[in-house]
């Protein structure tokens, strides 16, 4: 059986920060930022990070597919919320995958995703499938060029043997300790070197050499490439590299800079997911990852691409857009300013790790119960059925609520309780198949909330323990339809 990509998915946060807002706020100190003030960048909500975005990308990837065959989960990022906790393990638990899987975090380079994907593609056998994820929420200094060019987002690829939508033709890598930027241990922000040096000594020399090695491995002409995916925020560099390699200029893909920004190590896979959404069977897709060397992966789309169940993908999440012009909100969400949050924010938020472990299915996987006698669904699962006509004891089996749809039964906006983005909006969600749950709402404006509004579940940050550096996750409800475009 042929091995390759079986499915793809993506996630881009709903909020989009206008670059003009960044430039206007910082022009008093860095007037040159006005020259980059076009377009917008994706921006995580306060309750999103690399783990939550990876979960959403994975759910998009697995639309209409069976999760039981997944045997490996890998997550690439340079912005993991935990330095010493298996971040990919949190994702696997949230997806309710079998515990009989392997998981791995891949990081420390902007080509962590392409290098990791190449390794998975070349090592996956017929015994199972691998879910490879890349997700990034990078912190940047206020008023920096990197703040203007960055974006938050995630991509997911299901890899394995079977009816592949894109087969791997060839892969080639070069490792060169060329330092275009770095972030030292214990430092919050990247230090970036001079752009001309990065362009002339980095991209212009390392990438063409890697592509030459790739084409030397396979009987593929550069002129046959239909989609060239190379993340780079430096103007016309991707076109210049393509020309040097003999790749048609028309093959160079939009790098999504104007509508999203560069999502760090995830961006090469995000561009690949975008290309797969429009590629035709037989077309060749070349993906490049740059960072202390270069990875080049060449794929060929197959006829199975047409049979893949529809998914949101990059374009679907780009359409789910809400314009953000409040730069101060962005600074607060990314802890770039010291904000007086009030006494209600001072509550000790220590997590009881023993309880989290015992209730991990319920907390991370949103697993409730189903009565084996009357079929009633309930959350949380308990020893007694909540149906007053049943009240059977010890009859409940596990039932996952995460993929169930529901509607708002009641709602409120609380201005008194602490929220990083007040007001705190919550309410009762009545699930369509039965069961109800009082929960927080995410990515919603109070004006659009009403009884009967369709909702879906999303995996988000519940609290952050700043004293101990621990992030606590749970599920929230968000409007099921596409958000209104601003």
Res. 344: pLDDT tops 90? no
- How remote is the C-alpha of 105 from its chain's centroid? 14
* pLDDT over 90, % of the chain: 93
CA–CA dist 404, 432 (Å, integer): 8
Decide if 85 contacts 54 (C-beta within 8 A).
Answer: no
Confidence class for position 481, pLDDT limits 50, 70, 90:
confident
* pLDDT cut 70: percent of the chain above it: 98
pLDDT, mean of residues 281-305: 98
pLDDT recorded at residue 99: 95
Cis peptide before 305 (omega within 30 of 0): no
Domain residue limits, the chain: 3-333, 404-479
Helix (H, G, I), strand (E, B) or coil at 21: helix
What pLDDT is attached to residue 127? 62
Q: How far apart are the first and last CA of the chain?
A: 47
Q: What is the pLDDT of residue 125?
A: 55
Instruction: Say whether pLDDT at 486 is over 90.
Output: no
What pLDDT, on the 0 to 100 scale, is given for residue 123? Answer: 81
| pLDDT per position as a tens digit, 96-154 | 999 999 999 999 999 999 999 999 998 865 568 999 999 999 999 999 999 999 999 99
Length of the chain: 486
- Residue 353 in this model has a pLDDT that exceeds 70: yes
Nearest to 255 by CA among 144, 108, 157, 151: 151
- How far apart (Å, rounded) are the C-alpha atoms in residues 451 and 59? 26
Of the candidate ranges 172-181, 451-460, 474-483, the one whose mean pLDDT is the lowest? 474-483
Per-residue pLDDT, 484: 38
Q: Strands (DSSP E) along 89-209, which ranges?
A: 102-106, 129-136, 153-161, 166-175, 181-182, 191-192
List pLDDT tens digits, range 180-233: 999 999 999 999 999 999 999 999 999 999 999 999 999 999 999 999 999 999
Q: What is the pLDDT of residue 485?
A: 35
Grade residue 482 by pLDDT with cuts at 50, 70 and 90.
very low
| Tens-place pLDDT, residues 19-78 | 999 999 999 999 999 999 999 999 999 999 999 999 999 999 999 999 999 999 999 999
Q: How high is the mean pLDDT of the chain?
A: 95
Under CATH, to which class is 404-479 assigned?
mainly beta
pTM of the model: 0.96
pLDDT at position 241 is: 98
What DSSP string describes 67-104? Answer: GGGEEEEEEE-S--S-SSS-HHHHHHHHTT--SSSEEE
pLDDT band at 3 (very low <50, low <70, confident <90, very high): confident
User: Considering the domain 3-333 in this protein, what is its CATH number?
Assistant: 3.40.47.10
Q: Which two tokens stand for residue 201?
A: 């000594």
Give tens-digit pLDDT for 244-287. 999 999 999 999 999 999 999 999 999 999 999 999 999 999 99
What does DSSP assign to residue 200? I
């Amino acid at each position: 059986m042929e091995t390759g990509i079986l499915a793809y998915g993506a996630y881009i946060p709903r909020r989009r920060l206008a670059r003009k807002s960044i430039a206007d706020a910082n022009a008093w100190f860095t007037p040159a930022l006005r020259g980059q003030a076009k377009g917008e960048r994706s921006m995580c909500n306060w309750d999103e990070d690399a783990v939550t975005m990876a979960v959403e990308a994975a759910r998009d990837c697995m639309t209409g597919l069976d999760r039981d065959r997944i045997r490996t989960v890998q997550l690439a990022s340079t912005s993991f919320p935990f330095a010493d906790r298996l971040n990919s393990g949190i994702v696997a638990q949230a997806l309710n995958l079998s515990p009989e899987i392997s998981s791995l975090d891949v990081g420390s380079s902007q080509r962590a995703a392409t290098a990791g994907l190449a390794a998975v593609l070349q090592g996956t056998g017929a015994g199972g499938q691998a879910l490879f994820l890349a997700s990034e929420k990078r912190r940047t200094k206020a008023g920096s060029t990197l703040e203007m060019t960055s974006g938050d987002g995630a991509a997911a690829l299901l890899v394995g043997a079977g009816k592949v939508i894109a087969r791997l033709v060839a892969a080639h890598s070069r490792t060169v300790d060329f330092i275009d930027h770095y972030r030292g241990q214990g430092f919050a922000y990247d230090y970036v070197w001079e752009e001309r040096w990065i362009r002339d000594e980095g991209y212009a020399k390392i990438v063409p050499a890697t592509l030459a090695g790739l084409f030397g491995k396979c009987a593929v002409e550069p002129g046959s490439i239909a989609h060239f995916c190379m993340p780079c925020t430096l103007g016309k560099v991707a076109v210049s590299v393509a020309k040097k390699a003999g790749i048609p200029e028309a093959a160079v893909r939009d790098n999504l800079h104007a509508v999203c920004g560069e999502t760090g190590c995830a961006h090469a896979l995000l561009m690949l997911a975008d290309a797969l959404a429009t590629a035709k069977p037989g077309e060749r897709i070349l993906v490049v990852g740059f960072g202390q060397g270069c990875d080049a992966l060449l794929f060929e789309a197959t006829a199975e691409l047409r049979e893949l169940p529809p998914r949101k993908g990059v374009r679907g999440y780009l359409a789910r857009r809400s314009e953000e012009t409040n730069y101060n909100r962005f600074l607060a969400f990314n802890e770039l300013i010291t904000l007086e949050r009030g006494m209600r924010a001072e509550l000790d938020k220590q997590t009881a790790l023993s309880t989290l472990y015992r209730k991990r299915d319920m907390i991370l996987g949103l697993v409730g119960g189903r009565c084996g006698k009357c079929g009633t669904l309930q959350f949380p699962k308990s020893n007694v059925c909540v149906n007053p006509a049943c009240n059977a004891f010890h009859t409940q089996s596990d039932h996952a609520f995460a993929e169930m749809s529901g509607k708002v039964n009641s709602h409120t906006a609380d201005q008194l309780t602490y929220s990083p983005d007040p007001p705190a909006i919550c309410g009762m969600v009545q699930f369509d198949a039965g069961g109800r749950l009082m929960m927080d709402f995410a990515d919603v404006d109070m004006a659009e909330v009403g009884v009967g509004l369709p909702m879906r579940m999303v995996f988000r940050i519940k609290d952050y323990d700043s004293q101990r550096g621990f992030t606590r996750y749970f599920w929230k409800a968000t409007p099921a339809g596409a958000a209104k475009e601003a």
